[in-house]
Structure 1
Amino acid sequence: MRAGPNRLHTNTPRVAGGASNAHIAARMYLSDSTVRSSISRMIRRLNVENRVQLAKLIWDKVHRRP
């Protein structure tokens, strides 16, 4: 089964919260490799260098003050 982009989009709060690939995979009933490739795609698309920068970007966006 291939997970669609909307389902994989739910990875973002978990990544920002520091969850491991294994934890995200278990919670979403996906394989580790599916989660790993999803996060790699997000890193490329958002033009950040690593998972830490991705998590910070997501955290800042979610907790942005108006």
Structure 2
Amino acid sequence: MTTKERVTVTLPADLLATAKAASGGNLSAYVERAVRAQALSEAGEAITAWRGGAAADLDDLADVFGEDVA
């Protein structure tokens, strides 16, 4: 089981009301899912950026070696 830690956050009142309404009574679980989704989104963006650079590197290697290295 994952260790959980209590935190305090400050949100605009309208955003908090929306989150409470959407949470189905478990605001903590709702916020946890939202934070995980954001973290995955940011990780995906970082991987996409890295792969974009890696693709350019592979193109350079293919030019040097004259073959498909991908």
- TM (normalized to structure 2)? 0.31
Higher RCO by CA contacts (8 Å cutoff, separation 6 or greater): 1
Larger C-alpha radius of gyration, 1 or 2? 2
- TM (normalized to structure 1)? 0.32
